[in-house]
Amino acid sequence: MTPGPQSSEGWSEPNMHIGCAVEWEHDVLASWRRSAGGKPLPRPEVWQPLPAGVCWFLCRVEPEDCDKLYVIGSRDWKLLFGTCRLQTIAADPCQGTDDYRHKSRIVRMKKALATGDRFEPLIFTAFSGEGPFVIIDGNHRAIALLQLGLLIGQTVFIGFHPRMGQEYLWFRRAVHS
């Protein structure tokens, strides 16, 4: 996901394609609110403390990015799946114990996607274009998309800031799980 020279389509080469810059309030937060069903402050424990100066971009997921993707580092994901690594979680058949309703939500998302439903773009954060990338909105959607083979090519929002991996416990928990 290293920003590189722009192609004629506006995407960079070679990993996670970084497209155009977007605005936090107008693009990213608006999408996040729509995905939260109109709740006024979706996951304020995550976005309210984001550092000033996060640079937001519209990007496209490439195959080589999948091993650098993590769900948000909250205790419940780790307890249920033993990790926050997206590929490992997506390999789980989503059966058995579901104390946190993550598995049932993933199954519901898969059914909706299989019938053609569309969802808001996923929202990631990272401290550099090399990753790792932590999902702050769309964890269940990302797993369902990966299980269905639809994650590659998805358009996502990514917020970059060099302090992301240093100051945010949910980021550190995710990538060190």
**Phi first, then psi: what are they for 128, rounded to 5°?**
-155, 170
pLDDT value of residue 40: 67
Q: Is 153 helix (H, G, I), strand (E, B) or coil?
A: coil
pLDDT value of residue 11: 36
pLDDT value of residue 3: 37
Residue recorded with tokens 């936090």: 24
- Residue 93: asked if its preceding bond is cis (omega within 30°), the reply is no
Q: Tell me which amino acid residue 138 is.
A: G
pTM comes to 0.86
Q: Is 123 helix (H, G, I), strand (E, B) or coil?
A: strand
pLDDT in tens, the chain (177 residues): 433 333 334 434 446 778 899 999 999 989 988 888 767 666 777 777 788 899 999 999 999 999 999 999 888 888 888 999 999 999 988 777 777 788 999 999 999 998 988 899 999 999 988 899 999 999 999 999 999 999 999 999 999 999 988 888 889 999 987
Q: What is d(CA 175, CA 53) in angstroms, rounded to the nearest whole number?
A: 22
| Nearest by Cα to 73 from 164, 153, 154 | 164
Count other C-beta atoms under 10 Å from residue 36's C-beta. 14
Count other C-beta atoms under 10 Å from residue 72's C-beta. 21
pLDDT value of residue 167: 80
| Nearest by Cα to 48 from 168, 176, 175 | 168
